[in-house]
């Protein structure tokens, strides 16, 4: 099976190891993965801030870069939701770009969704002897409806002690520019999230959106809580 990796901005600039884990996990399961050059932001920051014309320019670039790809996989539910829900809004009424956007949407998948729903794999053969809980990010769960796939993959990791996170579907408080515009509210939300994580007794917090994980990790560090934060791909890449 052929697929292309959409690395996303945050992974490219700050979490390259996550991208490497995605590549290793997918290739171990027979995916002929390539990396189209020229890829850039999905356009979500501009879109969420109301700059739809600017976001459309960026979105067109992404569509063009991946036009020849059979499938597109990304380690971000947030970026995937932008493509699936933002692009139809950006190109509504434009017969040419609406068609191209819809073709792109049909072949675009979040990482865990691709493994479970496309590859049909629920056990990647990983081993991770830690107590782990999982944060369900807003865009991924609410907009894409991807809720059980990541947890199924985690529960099938050998040696893992998986514990459910109380109020797992509550927001982490990041919300892109929301965390800057409403800093006090954002801080209160992430503090509540951290309290719930601590309650589980977990050694590791897993997730599928790096911006959420970055926000939570920052708060854990500031509070002096020694809980490690990892993307799902990093855990699935362990002990193989």
Domains, the chain, with CATH or none: 2-118 (3.40.50), 131-236 (3.40.50)
Distance separating alpha carbons of residues 126 and 129, to the nearest angstrom: 10
Q: pLDDT tens digit string along 18-48?
A: 999 999 999 999 999 999 999 999 999 899 8
Say if residue 182's pLDDT is above 80: no
Q: pLDDT tens digit string along 36-79?
A: 999 999 999 899 889 999 999 999 999 999 999 999 999 999 99
φ/ψ of 137, rounded to 5, equals: -75, 150
The strand pair at 204-207 and 131-134 is best described as parallel
Average pLDDT, the chain: 94
Its pTM stands at 0.93
At 180 the pLDDT is: 67
**By the 8 A CB rule, do 18 and 75 touch?**
yes
At 85 the pLDDT is: 94
Q: Please name the helix (run of DSSP H) or strand (run of DSSP E) that holds residue 231, with its range, or none.
A: strand 228-231
At 169 the pLDDT is: 85
């Amino acid at each position: 099976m052929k697929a292309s990796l959409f690395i996303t901005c945050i992974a490219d600039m700050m979490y390259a190891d996550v991208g490497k884990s995605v590549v290793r996990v997918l290739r171990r399961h027979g995916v002929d993965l390539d990396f189209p050059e020229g890829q850039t932001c999905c356009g979500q920051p501009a879109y969420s801030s109301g700059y739809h014309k600017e976001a459309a320019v960026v979105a067109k670039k992404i569509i063009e870069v991946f036009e020849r790809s059979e499938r597109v996989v990304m380690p971000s539910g947030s970026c995937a939701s932008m493509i699936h829900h933002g692009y139809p809004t950006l190109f509504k009424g434009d017969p040419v770009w609406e068609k191209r956007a819809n073709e792109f949407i049909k072949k675009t998948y979040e990482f865990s969704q691709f493994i479970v729903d496309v590859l049909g794999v629920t056990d990647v053969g990983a081993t991770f002897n830690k107590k782990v809980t999982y944060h369900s990010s807003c865009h991924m769960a609410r907009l894409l409806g991807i809720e059980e796939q990541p947890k199924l993959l985690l529960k099938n990791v050998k040696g893992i002690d998986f514990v459910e996170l109380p109020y797992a579907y509550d927001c982490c408080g990041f919300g892109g520019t929301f965390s800057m515009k409403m800093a006090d509210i954002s801080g209160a939300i992430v503090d509540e999230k951290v309290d719930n994580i601590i309650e589980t007794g977990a050694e590791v917090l897993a997730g599928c959106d790096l911006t959420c994980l970055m926000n939570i990790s920052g708060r854990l560090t500031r509070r002096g809580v020694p809980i490690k934060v990892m993307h799902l791909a990093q855990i699935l890449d362990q002990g193989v």
